[in-house]
Amino acid sequence: MKKIACAALKLKSDGRIFHGKRHNDCIFVAHRVSGEKPVLGTYGFLTTDGKFVDRKQAMDIAIEAGQVGKSLQGTSLYSEDIY
């Protein structure tokens, strides 16, 4: 079963994906590597099969995998929800 593995950030400028435990970790690394300031992109998550998904898709996956409660259905996933 697919699960949410970690937080991720997909850069708007070139599509590179940075991942970490929290989205702040992603921003920090993306800034250090790319030099971009501010770091612009799409916040999302990586799944256990390596796919980048946005916050809404991530919530559906996390609910189905039992990583978060169904009471959060219809909302967006934040890294704090799964750790």
The pTM score is 0.92
Residue 43: give the domain boundaries.
Answer: 4-82
41 and 10 in contact (C-beta within 8 Å)? yes
Name the DSSP class of 66: T
Structure tokens at 27: 């921003």
Domain count, the chain: 1
The model's pLDDT over 43-77, given as tens digits with 9 standing for 90+, comes to 999 999 999 999 999 999 999 999 999 888 889 99
The model's pLDDT over 12-34, given as tens digits with 9 standing for 90+, comes to 999 999 999 999 999 999 999 99
